Structure 1
């Protein structure tokens, strides 16, 4: 992803978005359990929708009020280009499947996308209280502390990751995921395969992981992490090596000194 044109928001916008996302996170935290909820597919899906609905009830209107003229991207599992203008791309429960299974890896995310480039994002982890923020040209931060990507230059020392973007991906996509994991296991040190994408991308932005890739265009799982990694000094492209945006078919975010090596491996799959 190229460095977006500097985004100079109203002084209150980032704080308003942060407050709204934290309020939404409190709702999701109140709904969490330490046991799995639902046995049948219908029950699990019902729990996921209930989480989404509870969070959106307190998140949608504050975000739309915070940015005059902004629009709402309705389908959190959608991909592809958005129409021109400013859009809120939100995941009310990023890692919802983990939440309903009693696991801790979930968050609330809200990202303002302008002309298919993310320009402001807030990612809040309610269980830890950690809040990751970024604005285009303004850097990436964890609770006010500046983030910086890994300085690694050797893929053999790298901790990398990928994951499934959504249920029901094509068989071809599943095969590509498997082949890419094998290739990166051979070339690298350790590969994490998990969901959700954003919770791996915050680690890339913070220098804890070195790369993340995905064979997907699901916007809600990528826009927040793309901006955080870019603003932390990382390189974000598609798997053809072109600058990433919301219209891209696939995704690679990496520390700059291992990006080309990772791209060479993944682009051939």
Structure 2
């Protein structure tokens, strides 16, 4: 049974348990945050990244698995593609980890229960601000306790849009497409924002602060939380062929309904 089919009180309880676990993990990550960048060499930076992940997973994994009996854990946060049938926790213990390590404030803790490759509840918590974004399939999206609404723009030329790479070491073809798409949208949109991580841009799309986000990637952990948030807020979420997005899609576009078609016209030839 998906959470969408569960009784309302059961959905409320599950979301409350996930939110509590993610917020607790956020305290751990906040305690590790510094006002200066950590690590000079690549090896040192990677060591800091892994230390963040390990510290947060130590307090996050058990409560989430306990909250949904029989659920499993998607171990590789950089993996893409469809998951086996059943319920899986897709978690990023430090979404924007590279920012955290470099003393930049765009980072969060995310947890999403994916059932049969559909995200059903998600929680994104920003420890620095205390803001918590939640969504339940069929139940809307909220910032703290307030419903979110998407951008009402209908002119791509007035839009703030964004993209970014999904992970270090993408192949050259992906880098080429990213560059070409940024060039194309610099002409088609008002402003293009290029940054990481994806979730930190997608929460802005869900809240109506940004108008679109696209990515040439299938990394699940960077997309499932934002995909549910933006779709439940009222945005249109597809791949770059215009088909409904799923975990086995190779690329991603979330946009305000009024500009989705225009953004897709520009991006689809580059997919």
TM-score tier by shorter-chain length is: over 0.9
Q: 1:240 offset after TM fit, Å?
A: 0.5
C-alpha separation in 1, matches of 2:26 and 2:191? 31
Does the C-alpha gap of structure 1 residues 248 and 254 become closer, same or farther in structure 2, counting only changes over 3 Å?
same
Q: 2:25 matched to 1:24?
A: yes
Q: Who is 1:132 aligned against? A: 133
The equivalent of 2:60 in structure 1 is 59
Distance 1:98 1:206 in 2: 22
Distance 1:5 1:187 in 2: 39
1:209 Cα deviation from its structure 2 partner: 0.2
Q: Is 1:203 aligned with 2:204? A: yes
Number of residue pairs matched by the alignment: 266
Q: State the partner residue of 2:96.
A: 95
Where structure 1 has 5 or more consecutive residues not aligned to the other structure, the ranges are none
Higher relative contact order (CA 8 A, sep 6+): 1
Deviant stretches of 4+, over 3 Å: 4-9
In structure 2, the partner of 1:111 is 112
On the 8 A contact 2:237/2:244 being kept in 1, the answer is yes
Residues 1-269 of structure 1 aligned to structure 2 (within 5 Å)? 6-8=4-6, 10=10, 11-269=12-270
Q: Is the 8 A contact 1:94 1:106 kept in 2?
A: yes
Please say if residues 3 and 121 of structure 2, whose CA atoms lie closer than 8 Å, have aligned partners that are also in contact. no
Gap runs ≥5 in structure 2: none
When the two chains are superposed, the root-mean-square deviation of aligned CA atoms in Å is 1.1
TM-score (norm 2): 0.97
- The alignment's TM-score, normalised by the length of structure 1, stands at 0.97
Assess if the C-alpha contact under 8 Å between 1:7 and 1:136 holds in 2. Answer: no
Give, in angstroms, the shift of residue 5 of structure 1.
8.7
**Structure 1: how far apart are the matches of 2:59 and 2:249?**
31
- How far apart, in 2, do the equivalents of 1:41 and 1:7 lie? 46
Distance in structure 2 (CA, Å) of the matches to 1:102 and 1:132: 22
